[in-house]
Chains A and B, each alone.
Chain A
Amino acid sequence: MNNPQCQRWQLLVQADHDGELGVADAAALAVHLDGCTACRALRDGLAGLSRRLHADAPRHAAPASLRAALERQAMPLASPPAIRRWRLPRAAIGGGAALAIAASVTLALLPRGGDPGEAAVASHIRALQPGHLTDVLSTDQHTVKPWFNGRLDYAPPVRDFAAAGFPLHGGRLDYLDGRAVAALVYQRGGHVIDLYIWPGNADPARAEAFAGYNVVHWHDAGMRFLAVSDLNLAELQGFVALWRDTPP
């Protein structure tokens, strides 16, 4: 993780790993990764560490007794006991030892709460990098749909349009618009289409483009849909039309 020549890329690789990189930086990093073994090793190292933490560091669930006690307290409202002093925010700890690279690298981090289109393009670019996993790899919508059960607090619609030239390739969990969302992966010729689906209907239907990727937004039946691809806009709109016009 400590190749001096690549120091300026380190926090970018980390930000990319954490899904925090803006489109321009993600594209630049993808080019650098193509030619840099050290940074690819760093990326793989970060991915390995994350897998290890997910597998072996428990996310402790609240004991049922604690949950029940809090539910009892909150619901009918017993008035809470007198509050002890409310401490002032703790001063920032340490920090002086922070690596110099933190200051020397400026990152165009994704704007939070902004247009999810740009964030979706960054996520799409990330997902296209070699070695990035599709969480569930299946052309069968009846395999992909149940895979999301228990992983999301909603059930995304899953459909296959192989007959119309847009075969379903799989799905994964992603992070957009401040929440976990379903991403369905389709193929069209040599192109990949990511379709992000999450609850909501605030967004008017529209098309836009970031860094050469087309993005189409629409909503239907209480779900927001966002399709991203480097496919030309006409064909991507064709895919969207299939989704919008074919009855489930």
Chain B
Amino acid sequence: MPEPDNAAAFARIALPHLDAAYNLARWLVRDPVLAEDVVQDAMLRGLTYMHAFRGDNPKGWLLRIVRTTAYDRLSERKRAAEVPLDTGPAAALPDPADTPEAAVADGQRRAALDRALAALPDELREVIVLRELEEMPYREIARITEVPLGTVMSRLWRARLALRGAAQ
């Protein structure tokens, strides 16, 4: 059971990284409601395991918990044979009828990139999100995703090759 000063310490170190936690969860589970659940759950786990936190990198520590939690929830959902919600590209597209052409083009470009990211295998999508959106260094990405540094680099490379077409 966490001690009260643990909770205060946890708030101090974890809450500044809440956006990063939510962003990673959102990209991994691709569902805003489930992403909130994942973050709630990860925060509880983090609070409970505060004593194991060594204090060197709170963001990396939190993201590692978020990642594990996200994959747990995804595999629970898979076992329950639920159909994943698709709130991605189609929902993000603006209605062409009442949108200026430039905005339509913008929306289509975003949707294309979103589809390309969604189509990546999990292990490639997570490294690209951690590197490009969260700007984590390789060593932290290796710790969060629990693979060697060389694997991080080759996954990033493969992810970028795969996204290249969508980024023209």
Contacts and interface: CB of A to CB of B under 8 A. Distances in A.
B55 interface: no
Nearest to A45: B164
Given A49-B167, A83-B48, A93-B122, A56 B113 contact: yes
Q: What's the interface size class on A, roughly?
A: 35 or more
B153 A74 contact: no
Contacts of A1: 160-161, 164
A79 B47 CA distance: 10
A119 to B, nearest CB: 10
A4 interface: no
Interface string B4-17: 10011011001100
A81 B44 contact: yes
Interface string A132-171: 0000000000000000000000000000000000000000
Contacts of B157: 10-11, 14, 99, 101-102
A208 interface: no
Contacts of A20: 137-138
Given A60-B23, A60-B27, A93-B122, A50 B150 contact: no
A107 B4 CA distance: 45
A76 to B, nearest CB: 8
Contacts of A62: 18-19, 21-23, 39
B123 interface: yes
A239 B128 CA distance: 40
B22 A90 contact: no
Given A45-B164, A57-B113, A14 B147 contact: no
Interface stretch (A24-32, A63-71, A122-130, A188-196): A63-71
A223 interface: no
A74 B47 contact: yes
B4 A77 contact: yes
A175 B128 CA distance: 18
Contacts of A48: 167
Q: What's the interface size class on B, roughly?
A: 35 or more
Contacts of B39: 62, 66, 70
B7 A50 contact: no
Contacts of B164: 1, 45, 49
B104 interface: no
Contacts of A92: 146-147, 151
Interface string B93-136: 00000000000000001100110010001110000100111110
Interface of B: 1-2, 4, 7-8, 10-11, 14-15, 18-19, 21-23, 26-27, 32, 35-36, 39-40, 43-45, 47-49, 56-57, 68, 71-72, 109-110, 113-114, 117, 121-123, 128, 131-135, 137-139, 146-147, 149-151, 153-158, 160-161, 163-164, 167
20 contacts: A14-B157, A20-B137, A53-B113, A56-B113, A57-B132, A59-B23, A62-B21, A70-B43, A71-B15, A74-B7, A74-B47, A80-B2, A94-B121, A98-B155, A99-B158, A101-B154, A102-B157, A107-B153, A109-B138, A175-B135
